[in-house]
Structure 1
Amino acid sequence: MFPSQSSSASGTETVAVPQTDGSYKLHGFKWFTSATDADMTLTLARVQDRTGATTPGSKGLSLFYAEVSRDDDGRLRGIEVQRLKDKLGTRQMPTAELLLDGLPAHRLSDEGRGVASIANMLTITRIHNSVSAASTMRRVLQLARDYATRRTAFGKLLKDHPLHMQTLARMEVETRGAFLLVMDVCRLLGREESGIATQLDTHLLRLLTPVVKLYTGKQAVAVVSEGLESFGGQGYIEDTGLPGLLRDAQVLSIWEGTTNVLSLDVLRCVARSSGMVLHAYFTHVKSLLAGASSVSSLAPAVKAVDGSLSELEEFVHVAASRGQSYLELAARDLAYSLARIYTGALLIDHACWKGASPSDSYAALRWCEQDLCPVVAKQKRGCYDSRTPPLDAALVYDQPIEG
């Protein structure tokens, strides 16, 4: 795959030269190319007109399909590998800098519609990323649980130390929450792909895809780091294989859009739908809570999610009148709030299922002990005011602060 994420696609310099048979040949440099051992690729490039000119910006990009093949001497056709990237993790998958020199390709999209055409693929890859995050969290937690039944410290097994169990319990809650959030987005994707999605489903999928990716990516790094710590010194030794888990987890918040890029994508999603995606979000969360209204053991969790949802609705109403710069400063915290509230509602709903265990109810209660709507708490502290950007810049670069 020759990636061109939305944050950097507009700077793509790859040129597609039309051929007489209707195909194209690609020329240009790809600085970051994932899965370079693949047999095919989708890539963005600018179609060159008869004068040799191309259209700048994202509007000039088209989507192309190319097959990776070799000549009789085993050399790649139209591709020259400049060098392999020396990455922090995911070293099993080669990533390289490539020079395209006449790579045969076929245009898939209309000219200038490359970014729009690749959006569906980004939905899939972002959900795949989220599945990887949830599975990584579960893997390290399973290892930590087993280790706690074998390792003795201060005269007793780790599992018999309340503080250690508290730590693992917090990891368990995060892992369960991530799993339910990911599976619910997979459910929405399945409904869309099978043609039975309602308008509410479609709006939720569009909103939650960047939300689930950015939030589980961050969760995975935190949970895996805590998991390594639960092994003590063993977690820092390469022979155990544990450090590799942390290195590989770190890419989950970077691939397919960083946290900030995806947070801004959430804002674009809300703006382009005239608020319909948020209406779908609020409607669905309320429906999830309604099913638990008669379960007394879940009352504190329901109250927490319902209260946070009301706060979020009020924030959206107020922020809409504050301007784009205000919303951009709040984008990350807004995305976190959307993720935590929705996950809380899913945990509550799951605890109401037939056959649910008492631990499911406890997980919902524990999840809802945290600040479910950080965007409101920071709004009250003035974190998104107009003075914030210059103060942040002064703080980062150690410049004088006036006033």
Structure 2
Amino acid sequence: MWSRRTSHTLWQLGPLPPLGPELARRAARTSAGQSEPAAAREKCPLPGLKMPFARADIGAFFQEQPRLGNQYLEDAFLQRYLEAHLPPQVLEPVSLDLERFGACVAAEIDSLGRECELSPPTLQHYDAWGRRVDHIVTCPAWKRMKEIAAEEGLIAEAYERRYSSWSRVHQVAKLYLYSPSAGCFTCPLAMTDGAAKVIESLGISGPLVKAFGQLTSRDPRKFWTSGQWMTERKGGSDVASGTESVAREQPDGTYCLSGFKWFTSATDSDMTLTLARIMDAQGCVKQGSRGLTLFFLEVRDQEGKLNGIEIQRLKEKLGTRQMPTAELLLDGCKAHRISEVGRGVASIANMLSITRMHNVIASVAGMRRMISLARAYASKRVVFGKFLKDHPLHMQTMARLEVETRGAFLLLMEIARLLGLEETKMAGEQDLHLLRLLVPVAKLYTGKQAIAVISEGLECFGGQGYVEDTGLPVALRDAQVLTIWEGTTNILALDVLRSLTKSQGQVFTVYCSAVQEKLELASSISGLGSSVQLLQDALHRLHQFMQRVGSKRAPAIELAARDFAYTLARIYTGALLLEHAAQPGASSIDTYTAQRWCKQDLCPVDSEEKTGCYDAQAASLDTALVYEGSKL
């Protein structure tokens, strides 16, 4: 019988209900090797015949659990990617670090993550003497996660730049191994990384010197995590009209903040970045995005008391229960202005790029972990006389999930590669355009992929995939937030269109050139010709769509936004898979993966446009369809 806190695997059984007095006596005699009294034996209708389940072990379970091994050593695709891209002098130390860390994930971190799920945070409003303390109580495992993040340099690695532009790739690969076992500690790490990026881009000076040093420290005693307090009562993505918080300048140059933050993740962090409107001497503020300014504040003062902050309540969420998420009242909160007045939204752009990339990491890593466990289970579970892995239909299903996951992984690593170039001043203008486009595309697409792949992956375990004690359902509950955090699918699809508009089409031109370069590399490789042609055709259809719709009025383009973003994701991912299959060390499986990817509809925006989905009447018909029969 497995304890809820025993193994570092996800397959764990909970405590059993207490036995009744008679069953307890029987169990004691059985464990001691004693037989039942004669009177009890005589009650058996067939003396001497051992009846099935007559002395069944309460809670016995006959399906062998999948074990979590070293996720680096078991991920051949990750290893081949690093071998294909990292210089030899970087590959060796990075591989050794990832192999060592993969063992740590299996030996310690995974069990800590499970403990975070079983012991969620609580809010203590008052102490025993009636004083308001607003203390968020987290479990020891959550605190240990913070120590590990510092010791392993999960943030520091990206800013030390030991391996130049490849430091980001190293960090992302490490977080990819860590994320599914982290008990949602990746959320505060995402915001910590984003805060460090913003501070570095704005210039490290004044109070930000200390903050940046703490955010990027490897010393657990100094390491800080950061929050990101942008969401207020009027909603999430529309910060321009939704931000009500105000800031009044003080004689010493600091600011006093007042407002209500409706959704703050990782509220136990040490600091945060937040938006507010500066109030003038007459008590007036400027509305719209140009009225927003970015501020930095420490959550607690030097005495450990909350910095003019009241915690109203913790949120009850579908998933991510391991992490404290709260509603906060800012009432005289001391803060420092770190952006130019009215330039708050522009200043947080770097933070959003980083946190969206972390969202992609969580999506891809979640898919990989579910497949890893399902693969282990398929080699142990016997159904209809043979292992699951020997059933062709089951393997076909898992292969489809594997193709989705490998494609998503390459999209993630492409962002990490481009970000590394940007941070080390090695990126050209085309690299910057491509990074700007791919971040929202990858976030929206992989968020959807994660839910679909993880949901299908749970089916691979049958009923056990639906039982909380196995630790499997939490993966699906936590995945649902990945389409919501840092911008919903539609918000990001519109952001993709915005990137094209602001660059006057240059972003799209760069995208097409990048795809074409990868296709040219793959075209000379045997076995890839037909897949290259399929992608060429899809790219041609995309060009035709842009010519037909690009000149139309805005509503038509907006209706196409989601399908357009999906098209960009599928074509670019296909090009990445073909490029990977064309590398010298690629395997025949890499070729097969690329072939499988390219057999889907690579240009859904063209397919949907030809069916009339973006016609002039489509918007009104869509509304009529949704609200038919409604009195709203």
| Aligned counterpart for 1:3 among listed residues 230, 234, 237 | 230
**Deviation of 1:75 (Å):** 4.0
Aligned pairs for 1:188-337 within 5 A: 188-337=418-567
Call closer, same or farther: CA 1:196–1:324 in 2, change over 3 Å.
Answer: same
Aligned pairs for 1:110-189 within 5 A: 110-189=340-419
Match of 1:342 in 2: 572
- Determine if contact 2:230/2:239 at 8 Å carries over to the other structure: no
**Deviation of 1:58 (Å):** 1.5
Specify the SS of the correspondent of 1:53.
coil
| Aligned counterpart for 1:79 among listed residues 290, 301, 309 | 309
Runs of 5+ unmatched residues, structure 2: 1-226
Match of 1:65 in 2: 296
**Deviation of 1:9 (Å):** 4.1
Counterpart-to-counterpart distance in 2, 1:203 and 1:77: 40
The percent of aligned pairs where both chains have the same amino acid is 62
Match of 1:376 in 2: 606
- Determine if contact 1:7/1:261 at 8 Å carries over to the other structure: no
Counterpart-to-counterpart distance in 2, 1:98 and 1:353: 51
Give the letter aligned to residue 221 of structure 1.
I
1:315-342 Cα deviation digits (max 9, x unpaired): 1122111111111000000000000000
**Deviation of 1:178 (Å):** 0.3
1:23-61 Cα deviation digits (max 9, x unpaired): 101101111111100000000000000100101121110
Match of 1:46 in 2: 277
Give the letter aligned to residue 246 of structure 1.
L
Counterpart-to-counterpart distance in 2, 1:88 and 1:179: 26
The root-mean-square deviation of aligned C-alpha atoms, in Å, is 1.2
Counterpart-to-counterpart distance in 1, 2:315 and 2:408: 30
- Determine if contact 1:6/1:115 at 8 Å carries over to the other structure: no
Match of 2:256 in 1: 25
Counterpart-to-counterpart distance in 2, 1:279 and 1:85: 44
Specify the SS of the correspondent of 1:112.
coil
Specify the SS of the correspondent of 2:244.
coil
Match of 1:34 in 2: 265
Divergent runs of 4+, >3 A: none
1:138-167 Cα deviation digits (max 9, x unpaired): 000000000000111111111011110000
- Determine if contact 1:78/1:100 at 8 Å carries over to the other structure: yes
**Deviation of 1:71 (Å):** 7.0
**Deviation of 1:392 (Å):** 1.0
TM-score by length of 1: 0.97
Larger radius of gyration: 2
Match of 2:170 in 1: none
Counterpart-to-counterpart distance in 2, 1:110 and 1:75: 29
Give the letter aligned to residue 411 of structure 2.
L
Give the letter aligned to residue 29 of structure 1.
F
Give the letter aligned to residue 65 of structure 1.
F
Task: State which drifts further: 293-302 or 258-267.
Answer: 293-302
Give the letter aligned to residue 606 of structure 2.
V
**Deviation of 1:313 (Å):** 1.1
Give the letter aligned to residue 260 of structure 2.
F
TM-score by length of 2: 0.62
Specify the SS of the correspondent of 1:17.
strand
